[in-house]
Every structure is written in C-alpha cells, then in structure tokens.
C-alpha cells in the first residue's frame, strides 16, 4: 500500500474581490499498486492494438482503477483492462486481459510485466 499525498500551504491573491492571505489545502489518496503480468506469449508489431491475457486480479465491488501512465513494457503500453464479460461497478469483478498498444516490434512472454494499476476503493454515502 502506498500514499499519494500533496499539500498546498499558502495561496495568495484575489478571488471574487476577496483577498486570501493564508489558505491550506490537503489532498490524500490511498490505494494498492497492482502489476499486470502476461499470461500468454504473444508477438506484437509497431502500431498493433492487441488483447493480451494477464494473470487474474480480483477486484472488490466499487473498486476504481487508475492506470499507470508510466510505460512499464519496452514494446508498448496498456491502454485498457477488463474481463471477457463486463460486470457492473457494484459487483465483484476480475481483470484477466488488457488492451495493449505496441510502439515497437517484439515478443511478450508469459510472466512479463505489461503494465501497472492503482486500485482505489470507492465508498457509497
């Protein structure tokens, strides 16, 4: 588990004719980082958009997925994740495949890292 914590301490200026001399803003987000590992061997060519099976990841109901923008595979990037049959947000879901955009030709082997996610838990009020 990790934390993404950002803080803005002082904001000075005008807002709707009000002078804000000292405002504090605190933002905190906690989630679990998950690695997407290929569950098959596949050949990719530059420009290909391919579905790749990945090792299954169980999602709790109301899990919010944030895809890592950092490229984790030398052959391309994951652009989407999912499972064979889409399931509602409020239900138990799994990730067992990704959509992968190849930026160079190459071979992805079973067990290779293809991408990463951060899983967040949404609470219903």
What are the tens digits of pLDDT across the range 71-106? 999 999 999 999 998 888 889 999 999 999 999 999
Judged against a pLDDT cut of 70, whether residue 28 lies above it is answered with no
Query: What is this structure's pTM?
Result: 0.74
Q: State pLDDT tens for residues 61-72.
A: 888 899 988 899
> Does 14 map to a domain?
no
Q: Within 10 Å of residue 64's Cβ, how many Cβ atoms? A: 12
The answer to whether residue 57 is domain-embedded is yes
Give a yes or no: residue 47 inside a domain: yes
CB-CB contact of 44 with 100 (8 Å): yes
DSSP helix/strand/coil, 124:
coil
Which pLDDT tens digit goes with each residue over 32-70? 899 999 999 999 999 999 999 999 999 998 888 999 888
Q: Does residue 104 lie in a domain region? A: yes
* Total domains present in the chain: 1
The answer to the question of residue 56 being in a domain is: yes
Is position 11 within any domain? Answer: no
Hey, how many other C-beta atoms are within 10 angstroms of the C-beta on 42? 21
Instruction: Give the structural domain span for 73.
Output: 31-121
| DSSP-derived 3-state class of residue 60 | coil
């Amino acid at each position: 588990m990790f934390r993404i914590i950002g803080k803005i301490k002082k904001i000075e200026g005008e807002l709707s004719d009000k002078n804000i001399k000292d405002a504090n803003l605190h933002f905190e987000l906690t989630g679990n980082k998950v690695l997407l590992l290929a569950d098959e061997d596949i050949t990719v060519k530059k420009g290909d958009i391919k579905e790749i099976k990945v090792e299954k990841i169980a999602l709790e109901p109301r899990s919010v997925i944030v895809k890592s923008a950092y490229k984790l595979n030398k052959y391309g990037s994951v652009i989407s994740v999912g499972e064979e049959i889409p399931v509602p947000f409020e239900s138990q879901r799994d990730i067992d495949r990704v959509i992968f955009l190849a930026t160079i030709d190459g071979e992805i082997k079973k067990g290779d890292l293809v991408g990463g996610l951060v899983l967040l838990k949404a609470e219903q009020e």
